Amino acid sequence: TTTTTTTTLAFTSSSTRSSHPLSPTFVVIGGSCSSSSILIISSLSSTSSADDPPTTTTTTTTPMMTPRWYQKEITVTAPSRGCHLITKDFQKAMKDELPTIQIGMANLFIQHTSASLTINENADPDVRRDMEEALNKIVPASWNHDGTFHHTMEGDDDMPGHVKASLMGPSLNIPIRNGRLALGTWQGIYLNEHRDQGGWGGGHSRRIIITLQGQS
């Protein structure tokens, strides 16, 4: 627990009050929330008289936020090349850990060079199809045959897949709020599979490292 102590200091005696009866001054002494208590002293400077109320001291104890760290590796199988919604895969994998964090951050990192992660529309599947079409036009397979690409030994989908993966990125950071991902209403997590056969593995299974950090 973190203990917060508020102390009101006694008034000084004088026959004449100042023009400003109460001049608050706040001093905060403490360390990090993980190990140290925070002492807040509120000093009110004023003159006093016999009618002034007695000095009071109030102590309030509140629960300390506990730091939490979790890490898990999951394997997600994409049914085909293209953009696939995997928000539910994340939620299923972290169903026990995520609710324990009230404020924090989730990091997802994919351990591959021809697949990527991004966040986009979670409702209309046409968005995912259009994303794949756009990526194919941005990095066309024809570059394997016109001299643009030199790394062509692994197939027409390989070097374009590497470029697409770099454009989209290997990781995501998503805020955690009250035990849930703070995604917008229409936001979802995408696994973007850029290979026809998922790389050297012969399938579309991709490893994703999930790290949760925060406080409860």
Residues in a beta bridge with 149: none
In the block, tokens 């529309």 appear at 121
For the chain, domain boundaries: 2-62, 67-215
In the chain, DSSP assigns E strands to: 2-8, 12-13, 23-30, 38-45, 47-48, 57-62, 67-77, 82-85, 103-110, 115-121, 171-177, 180-181, 187-193, 205-215
Would you write out the chain's pLDDT as a tens digit for each of its 216 residues? Answer: 333 333 333 333 334 444 444 444 433 333 334 433 333 333 434 455 556 566 666 655 556 778 999 999 999 988 889 999 999 999 999 999 999 999 999 999 999 999 999 999 999 999 999 999 999 999 999 999 999 999 999 999 999 999 999 999 999 999 999 999 999 999 999 999 999 975 554 567 899 999 999 999
- β-bridge partners, 76: 206
DSSP 64: P
> Residue 4: how many CB atoms within 10 A of its CB?
15
User: Which residues have a Cβ under 8 Å from the Cβ of 212 and sit 6 or more positions away?
Assistant: 68, 69, 70, 71, 94, 97, 98, 101, 104, 105, 106, 107, 176
Tell me which CATH homologous superfamily contains domain 67-215. YjbQ-like (2.60.120.460)
Q: Is the dihedral of CA 179, 182, 184, 187 positive or negative?
A: negative
